[in-house]
């Protein structure tokens, strides 16, 4: 087959994602591996390689222990496993907060070593200069406001944000400043519905909610949460679409029983001379 007759699929761009605002809701889901990315690619507009992989894949206590190398390994796998979705990789804790220049160095490494399309960083007002610095140098940035898992030690747990008037004002300011700084979208995590709704109506870039109600322009969720494969904790905002843990556990139990009782491998799984 000649090069020109091959069907090539083009990925979405940050501009095309931004233009989705006010149109069809944007579907985002996390993936950390090539096979999962392949399964999600037909349905997701954005696949996020989230630093939630620290807890979900590595069994770490929080996202604070996640390294750039982990993000790069999983980011590259997700890019290889997908063709259509726009791939965003989280910059992990400590890899971008010190200065816009450090953020650029990390983002450049992540993009060039994974082939991903954009990065996500946590923080609003505090990250405005950094977002602007990256965007002005050709790096699309997805913002993240509301409950910020990387600030776990400051906020003292994974709490809903926006309960006081002061917190509401801060979250709204965060969204506005990320829009001004050039972010192509903003994740709003664990925020009271009417604040998410107000932000969605006020800013020109898409809002992607997680625990921030149906009023957002799109939704994002951790895949293992909706598939019933991660049970360390289940936030209120998670809806279970499947319960795979018992299925997996039962399959492995059956395999173990077969091996112990010499029922596996069978003749059909073995090689013989003709
Ligand atoms: O790390 C992650 O998976 C995330 C989403 C939950 C938004 O940041």
pLDDT confidence band for 2 (50 / 70 / 90): very low
Q: How far apart are CA 186 and CA 212, in angstroms?
A: 12
Q: How far apart are CA 222 and CA 18, in angstroms?
A: 22
pLDDT confidence band for 10 (50 / 70 / 90): confident
Q: How many CA atoms lie within 13 A of 146 on its CB side?
A: 26
Q: Is the pLDDT of residue 5 over 50?
A: no
Shortest-distance Cα residue to atom 8 of ligand 1: 50
- Nearest atom in ligand 1 to the alpha carbon of residue 208 is 7
CA of 139 to the centre of ligand 1 (A): 19
What's residue 221's pLDDT? Answer: 98
pLDDT confidence band for 6 (50 / 70 / 90): low
CA of 24 to the centre of ligand 1 (A): 22
Find out whether 29 and 48 touch, Cβ atoms under 8 Å.
yes
pLDDT digits (tens, 9 = 90+) for 69-103: 999 999 999 999 999 999 999 999 999 999 999 99
CA of 166 to the centre of ligand 1 (A): 25
Helix 128-136 and helix 165-181: axis angle, to 10°?
Answer: 20
**212-233 average pLDDT score:** 94
Q: How far apart are CA 74 and CA 150, in angstroms?
A: 19
> Domains in the chain, please, with CATH?
10-243 (3.20.20.60)
Q: Hey, which residues are catalytic here?
A: 189
pLDDT digits (tens, 9 = 90+) for 127-186: 999 999 999 999 999 999 999 999 988 877 788 999 999 999 999 999 999 999 999 999
Q: How far apart are CA 11 and CA 82, in angstroms?
A: 9
Q: How far apart are CA 122 and CA 190, in angstroms?
A: 14
Report how far apart, in Å, the C-alpha atoms of 255 and of each of 45, 246, 248 are. Answer: 37, 14, 11
- Nearest atom in ligand 1 to the alpha carbon of residue 28 is 7
Report how far apart, in Å, the C-alpha atoms of 154 and of each of 91, 157, 194, 210, 236 are. Answer: 19, 8, 25, 20, 22
What's residue 156's pLDDT? Answer: 75
The torsion angles phi and psi of 208, rounded to 5 degrees, stand at: -115, 110
Find out whether 186 and 172 touch, Cβ atoms under 8 Å.
no
What mean pLDDT value characterizes the chain? 95
CA of 51 to the centre of ligand 1 (A): 6
Q: How far apart are CA 218 and CA 20, in angstroms?
A: 9
Tell whether ligand 1 has an atom less than 6 A from the beta carbon of residue 209. Answer: no
Shortest-distance Cα residue to atom 4 of ligand 1: 50
pLDDT digits (tens, 9 = 90+) for 188-200: 999 999 999 999 9
Q: Is the pLDDT of residue 206 over 50?
A: yes
**23-49 average pLDDT score:** 98
Q: Which residues contact 188 (CB under 8 A, 6 or more apart)?
A: 145, 146, 171, 175, 196, 199, 207, 208, 209, 210, 212, 216
What's residue 14's pLDDT? Answer: 97
Shortest-distance Cα residue to atom 2 of ligand 1: 50
List of E strands, 185-272: 185-189, 207-210, 218-221
CA of 50 to the centre of ligand 1 (A): 5
Tell whether ligand 1 has an atom less than 6 A from the beta carbon of residue 77. Answer: no
Q: Is the pLDDT of residue 208 over 90?
A: yes
Best of 90, 158, 191 to mutate for ligand 1, by most ligand atoms within 8 A of CB? 90
**244-271 average pLDDT score:** 98
- DSSP state letter for 91: P
Tell whether ligand 1 has an atom less than 6 A from the beta carbon of residue 52. Answer: yes
The percent of residues in the chain predicted with pLDDT above 90, rounded, is: 91
């Amino acid at each position: 087959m000649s090069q020109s007759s091959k069907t090539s699929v083009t990925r979405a761009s940050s501009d095309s994602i931004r233009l989705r605002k006010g149109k069809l809701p944007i579907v985002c889901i996390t993936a950390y591996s090539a096979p999962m990315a392949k399964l999600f690619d037909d349905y997701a507009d954005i696949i996020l390689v989230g630093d939630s992989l620290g807890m979900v894949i590595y069994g770490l206590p929080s996202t604070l222990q996640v390294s750039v190398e982990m993000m790069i390994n999983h980011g590259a796998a997700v890019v290889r496993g997908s063709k259509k979705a726009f791939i965003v990789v989280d910059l992990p804790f400590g890899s971008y907060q010190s200065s816009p220049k450090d953020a650029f160095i990390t983002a450049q490494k992540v993009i060039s070593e994974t082939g991903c399309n954009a990065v996500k960083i946590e923080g609003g007002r505090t990250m405005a200069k950094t977002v602007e610095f990256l965007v002005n140098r050709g790096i699309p940035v997805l913002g993240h406001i509301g409950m910020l898992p990387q600030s776990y030690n400051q906020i003292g747990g994974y709490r809903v944000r926006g309960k006081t008037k002061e917190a509401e004002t801060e979250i709204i300011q965060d969204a506005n400043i990320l829009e001004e700084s050039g972010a192509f979208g903003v994740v709003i995590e664990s925020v009271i519905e009417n604040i998410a709704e107000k932000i969605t109506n006020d800013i020109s870039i898409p809002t992607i909610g997680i625990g921030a109600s149906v009023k957002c322009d799109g939704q994002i969720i951790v895949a293992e949460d909706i598939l019933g494969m991660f049970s360390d904790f289940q936030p209120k905002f998670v809806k279970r679409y499947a319960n795979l843990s018992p299925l997996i556990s039962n399959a492995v139990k059956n395999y173990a029983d077969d091996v112990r009782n010499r029922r596996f491998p069978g003749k059909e799984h073995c090689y013989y001379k003709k």
